[in-house]
Amino acid sequence: MMHIIPEPKDITIHQGAGCFPFSAETALVNSVLAQAALEDFQSFLKKNFHFGLTQSEGATRLVLARMEEGDPEAYRIEVSEQEICISSAGEAGLFYALQTLKQILLTNGCKIPSLSINDAPLYHYRGFMLDVGRYFYPVEEVKHFLDLMAVHKLNIFHWHLTEDQGWRVEIKKYPRLTEFGSKRSHTNFGFRPHSGFYTQEDIREVVAYAHSKYIKVIPEIDMPGHMQSAIACYPELSCFNRSLPVATHWGVKHDILCAGKESTYQFIFDVLDELIPLFPDGYFHLGGDEVVKMRWQLCPHCQAFMKKTGLKDEEELQQFFMSRVSRYLKEKGVASMMWNWDSVEATQWLDRDIIWQMCGMPKNTQAEITAGRRMVNSVSFPYYLDLPYGWFNLRATYENTPEIPHIDAASAKNLLGLEAPLWTEYVPNMKKADYCTYPRLGAIAEIAWT
Ligand code: ACM
Ligand code: ZN
C-alpha cells in the first residue's frame, strides 16, 4: 500500500519481485532535467536520509529519461531490483515523478518495492492563492508555500498583491504606494501597526524560485474595488478625491477607483507596464470582486462617462472597465482573469476572453461557459482555505466534485481547473496559515490531479 498525495492515476505493485535498495551507491543518470530540480531532490535525500546520489557508476541506478511525446506533466515510474526509471515528455513530469518518489521514500524507507506508476493530471490548472494584502508574508514565507505546493504537484501560484489594507509591490513611478500604502496603523487583532512590501527584485526572486518548481505565477492587482490603500496615497484615484487612511479593518469598502476619469486608466496602465515584465507567465488577475457602486451612482465623472459611452448602469460601467484593462493586457500578449462575483449578469460589455475565477456559481455560469468563457473553480464552499474546518470539514472538501453541472462535454473543457484561495483577514501569521492550509490543500490537490 502506497500513501501518495495526490494519489496517482495508476499504480501497480509487482508482488513477489524484489525491492530496489536506495542508497549512496545509487547512481544518478540524467541528461534531461534542470540542475535546480535535481538539487531539490538531492537536498531532500540529504536532509531525510543523510546521503546523496552519486554521479559515477553505482550498484543501482536512478535513470531520468525523456519520452518523445505526451502530456509534459504526465510521467511514468518503473522500479525493479537494479533500476528506477522515470520518464516524461516534459521537465515538469520528471519533477513530479521525483515528488512521488520522495513520498514513497518517506512512507516506505529506502527499500522500494518493484512497481509501475503511470500518472497524469486531470486538470492543468491546479492553483493556490495567497492574500498578502491583509497580512504581509515575507519572501522566505512565500517560498515555504511554494515548497509545499510543489510537493502536492500544484502548478499555479496566484499572488493577491493589493488590498484595502495594504499595497505590497513596489511601483517605481508611484513610490507612495509602498512608502505609505503598505502600512496600516492597526489591525483587527489590536492596536499594532502592520506593514511590508516586495521590491521588484524580491518579485523576480520569488518568480524564479516558483519556476524552478514548475509553478507559474499569476499576480493580482484587485480593481476597481479593494483599492483603499492606493486611494490613501493618491486620493484623485477615487470619485470624490477623498482623503482616507489605509484601511485598518476588513470589510467591503465604498471608496473605489473612479471609472469615469481618464487619469484612473492611465494609473492602472502605468502599474501594469511595470509589472508585466516581472511576471512572464502570460496571465494577470484583475480582481473585480466586491465592487459596491454607491460612489459611481453619485459621481459626475462616472455618470458623464456612462452617458457618453452608452452604458445603461453602473454594472455595465464595471464590465466596461474590466474589458478595457483586459484589452490593454491582451495587446501585450497577456490573458486576464477576474472573480465572477460582480458579473452575475455578464453583458456584451464584458469580454468573453476574460477567464472567470468562480467564487460563486451565479445563474449565468452555464450560459457563459457554454458560450466559450474559460473558468477556474474556486467556489468558496469548499475551496476557501480560510473558512473554519468547523463550517465545512475536510471530508466536505474532499468529496466535492468540481465539474460545473448541466453542461456538455465540449463546454466542460472550458473548466481549466481548481484553485484554493487563502484570504488572510483572520490569518495574521504562518502558524495560522499552515493550520488553515493543511490538510485541506492536500485534499484539493488530489481533486485537481486525480
Ligand atoms: C472574494 O471572495 N472576495 C473573491
Ligand atoms: Zn467616479
pLDDT per residue over 266-320, tens digit each? 999 999 999 999 999 999 999 999 999 999 999 999 999 999 999 999 999 999 9
Tell me how crowded residue 371 is: count the other CB atoms within 10 A of its CB.
12
For atom 1 of ligand 1, the residue with the nearest CA is: 289
Q: Determine the atom of ligand 1 nearest the C-alpha atom of 287.
A: 4
Q: What residues in the chain have per-residue pLDDT under 70? A: 1, 342-344
Look at residue 24 in the predicted model and tell me its pLDDT.
92
**What atom of ligand 1 comes closest to residue 339's alpha carbon?**
4
What is the per-residue pLDDT for 2?
Answer: 84
* CA dist., res. 321 & res. 267, Å (int): 13
Peptide bond into 21 cis (omega under 30): no
Nearest ligand 1 atom, CA 341: 4
**H or E segment at 156?**
strand 156-160
Q: In Å, how far from its chain's centre is CA 232?
A: 27
* Phi and psi torsions of 358, nearest 5°: -85, 115
288 C-alpha to ligand 1 centroid (Å): 9
Phi, psi dihedral angles at 285 (to 5 degrees): -100, 130
CB half-sphere exposure, 16, CA atoms < 13 A: 0
Amino acid at 165: Q
**To which residue does cell 504606494 refer?**
177
How far is Cα 338 from Cα 352, in angstroms, rounded to an integer?
A: 11
User: Does the Cβ of 359 fall within 6 Å of ligand 1?
Assistant: yes
Q: Which residues of 32-51 are buried (b: 16+ CB within 10 A; e: fewer)?
A: bbeeebbebbeebbeeeeee
Distance 245 CA to ligand 1 centre (A): 22
pLDDT score of 448: 98
What pLDDT score does 343 carry? 55
In ligand 1, the atom with minimum distance to the C-alpha of 423 is: 2
Percent of the chain whose predicted confidence (pLDDT) is above 70: 99
Q: Which three cell numbers stand for residue 38?
A: 535535481
Helices (H) and strands (E) in the chain, counts: 16, 20
- Which three cell numbers, joined as nine digits, stand for 439? 490538510
Backbone angles phi, psi at 310, to 5 degrees: 85, 30
What are the CA-CA distances from residue 177 to residues 11, 180, 181, 339, 347 (Å)? Answer: 51, 6, 5, 24, 33
Q: What is the pLDDT of residue 74?
A: 98
Q: Which three cell numbers stand for residue 100?
A: 512521488
- What is the dihedral sign for C-alpha 196, 200, 201, 206? positive
- Which helix H or strand E contains 331, and what residues bound it? helix 314-331
What one-letter code names the amino acid at 34?
Answer: A
What's the rounded Cα separation, in Å, for the pair 128 and 121?
16
Please choose from 252, 339, 426 the residue to mutate so as to test ligand 1's pocket, defined by most ligand atoms within 8 A of CB.
Answer: 339
Strand partners, 163: 166
The confidence score (pLDDT) of residue 342 equals 62
Query: For 215-245, what is each residue's pLDDT tens digit?
Result: 999 999 999 999 999 999 999 999 999 999 9
DSSP letter for 277, please: G
In this predicted structure, what is the pLDDT of residue 117? Answer: 98
